[in-house]
Structure 1
Amino acid sequence: MQMHDRLLVVEDDPKLREELVALLGNNGYQPCALEAFDDVVGQVLAAGADLVLLDLNLPGVDGQYVCREVRRESDVPIIVVTSRDGQMDELLSMSFGADDFVAKPYNAPVLLARIARLLERAYGSASRSAVLERGGVRLDCDRCVAEHGGRSVELTKNELRILSLLMRNAGKVVSRQRIQEELWQTDEFVDDNTLTVNVSHLRQTLASIGARDFVQTRRRLGYLVL
């Protein structure tokens, strides 16, 4: 199944651009960024990205113009990420075709959750690999089933979201806040205690197929799978 993880960053501030590219790369995406701004619209269209993160304050051109012109030629999802946080800026951006509007300084987990939600809405389940494998565990996201040692078990929606997030970031600690943001895509209210209960249930489910201790805790940091 094709993945839709190519993200284009259109940000003229080198430091902010580097930070955003690093954030996306560390969370399983394939980011690229514009470094010249003489033909932003043409470069965005030529990039063939699956999602665009667009600043409004660009040298020589306004991001809202870029948004409008890109939208005339493409349905690529666009998230405006800008320090211009006025209601009129948000209204104009959305009217010119932006799919979401995030004000700087942004909360990284919230931005990642919005990206994931927009990709899922735009591309459905194809926005993520349907099958993930790590440490002897095979996760079939389409069937919502985990397999290990020839045994299989069905997962709940929340178990699937947690396990797929951890497996997509295998070897890295995923913060509790990041996991909560992932679960916010459901209709349930997710607080710290709810997350603890969900992780406990996931561990019990995995233990039932012999994958005991697959999800590990890093105290005061979060969880990971190796």
Structure 2
Amino acid sequence: MSDSRKTILVVEDEQKLSQLLFEYLQAAGYRAHCLSRADAVMPWLAEHRADLVILDLMLPGGDGMDLCREIRRQSQVPIIMSTARVEEADRLRGLETGADDYVCKPYSLREMVARVKVILRRMEHAPPSSPNTEEALFAIDPARMSIRVNGQALDLTRVEFRLLRHLIEHPGVVFSRDALLNIMYDDYRLVSERTIDSHIKNLRRKLSLYLPEKRIIHSIYGAGYRFELE
């Protein structure tokens, strides 16, 4: 009988933490695999499928931020960064690099497993999509967490997908930063409003590659953001 469990790749060089996280994930019904070096990750991913990656930033064999970028260039697999770096600038940098979530050490193992469940549940419960058409300026495929612009797929993190999809589906509506944070993160975490600004900046940059002459995401002073073609 085939094993349909989701596979979680844990990239962590603290052996005790790695083993405990392995055991918690297994107990939650996931298949887990652990690596302790950054330079072992891409070869492993080339041979195996991961449904989510828990990635420590301080690793032997390479830098975690660089590794996150490399993974994101090749895959949209969800990435949860874990690190002892607690400064807001580090968290924002991690999200800008392509991570879907960021957890500061020391963290609760139960909370980490809960975050894994939240991200994977979003994927499983994505509503069915209508077929994409290259004639549509924006074509959203929720099942694949993909958005195409003039037939070209945007390179989006999962958080960016949720944010841009919501804006596209509500053109002309002004959303506050708090409202957009609730769209991006449904687990009521405490996140700085600057996080939204960072994601909006990334989305504008990515959209400009395909729509360089158009203003799309507008800043509304003192209110928030609005999606509207100009």
**Length-normalised TM-score, structure 1:** 0.51
2:99 corresponds in structure 1 to 98
1:61 corresponds in structure 2 to 62
Q: CA deviation at 1:35?
A: 4.1
Mapping 1:120-199, distance limit 5 Å = 120-124=121-125
Q: In the alignment, is the contact (CA less than 8 A) between 1:4 and 1:50 conserved in 2?
A: no
Deviation by residue 1:42-84 (Cα, 9 ceiling, x = unmatched): 3234331100000000013111111000000001000001111
Q: In the alignment, is the contact (CA less than 8 A) between 1:9 and 1:53 conserved in 2?
A: yes
Q: CA deviation at 1:16?
A: 1.2
Q: 1:186 to 1:73 in 2, by over 3 A?
A: closer
Q: CA deviation at 1:122?
A: 2.5
Structure 2 gaps, min length 5? 128-185, 189-230
2:26 corresponds in structure 1 to 25
Q: 1:89 to 1:3 in 2, by over 3 A?
A: farther
Q: CA deviation at 1:125?
A: 7.0
Runs ≥4 in structure 1, deviation > 4 angstroms? Answer: 1-4
Higher relative contact order (CA 8 A, sep 6+): 1
Q: 1:44 to 1:27 in 2, by over 3 A?
A: same
Q: In the alignment, is the contact (CA less than 8 A) between 2:12 and 2:37 conserved in 1?
A: no
Q: Secondary structure at the match of 2:54?
A: strand
Name the Cα RMSD after superposition. 2.6
Distance 1:55 1:45 in 2: 19
Q: CA deviation at 1:113?
A: 1.8
Q: In the alignment, is the contact (CA less than 8 A) between 1:4 and 1:123 conserved in 2?
A: no
Q: Secondary structure at the match of 2:77?
A: coil
1:5 aligned to 2:6?
yes
Q: In the alignment, is the contact (CA less than 8 A) between 1:82 and 1:103 conserved in 2?
A: yes
1:118 corresponds in structure 2 to 119
Q: Secondary structure at the match of 1:38?
A: helix
Q: 1:64 to 1:45 in 2, by over 3 A?
A: farther
Distance 2:89 2:106 in 1: 18
Distance 1:84 1:108 in 2: 18
Q: CA deviation at 1:186?
A: 8.2
Deviation by residue 1:166-213 (Cα, 9 ceiling, x = unmatched): xxxxxxxxxxxxxxxxxxx689xxxxxxxxxxxxxxxxxxxxxxxxxx
**Length-normalised TM-score, structure 2:** 0.50
Q: CA deviation at 1:41?
A: 2.7
Q: In the alignment, is the contact (CA less than 8 A) between 1:81 and 1:103 conserved in 2?
A: yes
Q: 1:65 to 1:116 in 2, by over 3 A?
A: same
Q: In the alignment, is the contact (CA less than 8 A) between 2:13 and 2:36 conserved in 1?
A: yes
1:166 corresponds in structure 2 to none
